């Protein structure tokens, strides 16, 4: 009987069904509890895992949708069988509250089961058939059938801020396995123990469903070497990444520079601007300010959808918004951040924003060690549009209020935005004319547009888009959340005059 409450990491990679040690180790840095040693991944580990993934693709890529769905559901079952142990080690490593980890585990198993249902339905295959027209003039038309097919082994990089939902068995892995693609995960060094126990769950599901063990490998990594080797390996056909702009862009460039370039689906962050339109500001500006404070500090602001920027028209109603936000944030205590490095970067972000000419401080706090307290600054629309630095994400609970002179300047600021994951409009009935003018601008800037809400909290569903124009993500036509994300790991194949009995099963059906 599995002991759900105790788990001690052994620190090994999982490569094609075998637990593999390394010549060197690194030590994790948990927010609480004992540290553990983990093997350092090498290019040799990457080569072994990638070769096994390619071998597994021969059977897994051609397995029935029902077999793949059953395997994905088995992974969810095995994760739930380790529920308490996953929560405990995930909270220890990341500093996230246990309640947050329980919710994230439910999201992880939920999206696995969602993909199982999605591939059973089969709509994602986008099957098309143009029947032969042998008598067409001046030339006959052949029989043409098209279906989406899996692309091959996929590399997935674990994210620092979601140890479960965007990491080992998270959305990228779920989408790739649903598509029929084996996965090689490069684990995040901030939570290697969490990655290891989730890998054990996947390993158990592989054995339970008699799947080729090369369908999944997890390689620990504390250096750039293993990540660079993974994206450049000739057997890897695509990459899923959630992380920083600098790290993601470096990997994107490596993918593009390969002799055979591959797609790099990177989600790189966003400042997620909120536009508070005049009537909404006048009627309920203080309430919106209080609600913004809650969203800004959720999870210590460590969400890629954190609403870091608020744009509103200057005046006494803007003063009320800022005062309410400041009052709500003043009572927020220090929150533990995911890593020492992220906490240090937050302090650097504060110094960068505070040191920008034309920026004034609304709420200043001191963040010490691995903790963060909220910060609020404000500036003018002119300063914002003149300063590229102010549009860069600060990962943590830092908010910037941008006061514009009128609706025309608000429109100009919207046009100046870089790509975003989300843009939000807070509006009342009389704001709709301005909203209609903003919409054509903002839908070119973001993958998700919201009305009268806040972007923290990303629903896992059919219609969700979690992506946007660069630098929010590296592929504006993709999403990393929701069932549409499976398209990243598929490609259309057309079969011309092909005998029916040798077509893929999904076309013969």
Token duo for residue 354: 């505070």
Which of 3, 31, 26 has the alpha carbon at shortest distance from 13? Answer: 26
Three-state SS across 237-279?
Answer: CEEEEECCHHHHHHHHHHHHHCCCCCCEEEECCCCCCEEECHH
The whole-number pLDDT of residue 175 equals 98
Q: Which residues of the chain have pLDDT under 70?
A: 1-5
The whole-number pLDDT of residue 266 equals 96
Give the active site residue among 304, 393, 409, 423.
304
Contact 161, 345 (CB under 8 A): no
Token duo for residue 165: 């939902």
Contact 262, 237 (CB under 8 A): yes
The whole-number pLDDT of residue 221 equals 86
Contact 413, 423 (CB under 8 A): no
Give the Cβ contact number of residue 41 at 10 Å. 29
Which helix (H) or strand (E) covers residue 44, if one does?
A: helix 43-60
Peptide bond into 230 cis (omega under 30): no
Residue with tokens 């058939």: 129
The whole-number pLDDT of residue 269 equals 84
Strand locations in 32-165 (E):
37-39, 128-130, 144-150, 154-157
249-287 per-position pLDDT tens digit: 999 999 999 999 999 999 998 999 999 999 999 999 999
pTM, 2 dp? 0.95
The whole-number pLDDT of residue 222 equals 84
Residue 372, beta-bridge partner list: 335
How far is the CA of 305 from the CAs of 174, 296, 298, 504, 509, in angstroms? 21, 10, 11, 40, 41
Length, in residues, of the chain: 509
Q: Where are the alpha helices (DSSP H) in 359-431?
A: 381-386, 407-416
Token duo for residue 347: 């302090």
98 flagged as catalytic: no
The whole-number pLDDT of residue 19 equals 98
Give the active site residue among 78, 88, 200, 267.
267
DSSP symbols for 443-470: TTTEEEEEESS-S-S---SSS-----ST
Contact 101, 83 (CB under 8 A): no
Query: Taking the CA of residue 353 as centre, how many other CA atoms within 13 Å lie in the half-sphere pointing to its CB?
Result: 32
304 flagged as catalytic: yes
Which of 493, 501, 504, 490 has the alpha carbon at shortest distance from 147? Answer: 493
């Amino acid at each position: 009987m599995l002991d759900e409450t105790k788990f001690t990491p052994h620190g090994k990679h999982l490569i094609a069904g075998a637990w593999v040690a390394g010549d060197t180790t690194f030590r994790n840095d948990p927010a609480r509890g004992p540290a553990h040693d983990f093997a350092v991944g090498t290019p040799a580990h990457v080569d072994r895992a990638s070769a096994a993934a390619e071998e597994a693709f021969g059977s897994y890529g051609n397995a029935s949708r029902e077999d793949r769905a059953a395997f994905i559901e088995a992974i969810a079952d095995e994760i739930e069988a380790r529920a308490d142990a996953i929560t405990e080690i995930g909270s220890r490593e990341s500093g996230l509250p246990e309640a947050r980890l329980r919710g994230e585990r439910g999201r992880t198993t939920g999206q696995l089961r969602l993909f199982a249902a999605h591939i059973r339905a089969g709509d994602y295959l986008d099957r098309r058939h143009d029947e032969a027209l042998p008598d067409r003039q001046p030339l006959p038309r052949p029989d043409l059938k098209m279906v989406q097919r899996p692309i091959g082994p996929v590399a997935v990089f674990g994210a620092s801020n979601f140890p479960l939902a965007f990491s080992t068995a998270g959305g990228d892995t779920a989408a790739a396995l649903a598509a029929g693609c084996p996965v090689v995960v490069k684990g995040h060094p901030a939570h290697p123990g969490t990655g290891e126990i989730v890998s054990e769950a996947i390993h158990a599901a592989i054995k339970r469903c008699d799947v080729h063990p090369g369908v999944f490998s997890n390689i620990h990594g504390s250096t750039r070497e293993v990540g660079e080797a993974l994206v450049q390996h000739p057997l890897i056909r695509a990459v899923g990444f959630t992380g920083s702009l600098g790290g993601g862009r470096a990997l994107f460039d490596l993918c593009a520079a390969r002799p055979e370039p591959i797609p790099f689906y990177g989600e790189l962050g966003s400042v997620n601007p909120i536009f508070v339109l005049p009537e909404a500001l006048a009627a309920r500006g203080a309430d919106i300010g209080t609600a913004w404070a809650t969203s800004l500090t959720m999870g210590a602001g460590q969400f890629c959808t954190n609403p870091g920027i608020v744009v509103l028209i200057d005046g006494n109603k803007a003063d009320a918004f800022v005062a309410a936000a400041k009052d709500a944030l003043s009572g927020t205590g220090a929150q533990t951040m995911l890593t020492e490095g992220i906490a240090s970067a937050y302090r650097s972000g504060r110094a960068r924003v505070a040191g920008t000419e034309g920026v004034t401080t609304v709420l200043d706090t001191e963040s010490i060690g691995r903790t963060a307290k909220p910060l609020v600054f404000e500036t003018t629309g002119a300063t914002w549009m003149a300063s590229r630095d102010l549009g860069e994400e600060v990962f943590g609970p830092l908010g910037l209020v941008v006061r514009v002179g009128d609706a025309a300047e608000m429109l100009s600021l919207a046009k100046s935005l870089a790509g975003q994951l989300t843009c939000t409009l807070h509006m009342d009935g009389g704001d709709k004319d301005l909203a209609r003018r903003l919409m054509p601008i903002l839908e070119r800037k973001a993958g998700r547009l919201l009305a009268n809400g806040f972007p923290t909290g990303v629903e896992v569903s059919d219609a969700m888009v979690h992506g946007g124009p660069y630098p929010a993500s590296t592929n504006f036509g993709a999403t990393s959340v929701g069932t549409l994300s499976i398209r990243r790991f598929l490609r259309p194949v057309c079969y011309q005059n092909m005998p029916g009995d040798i077509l893929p099963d999904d076309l013969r059906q």
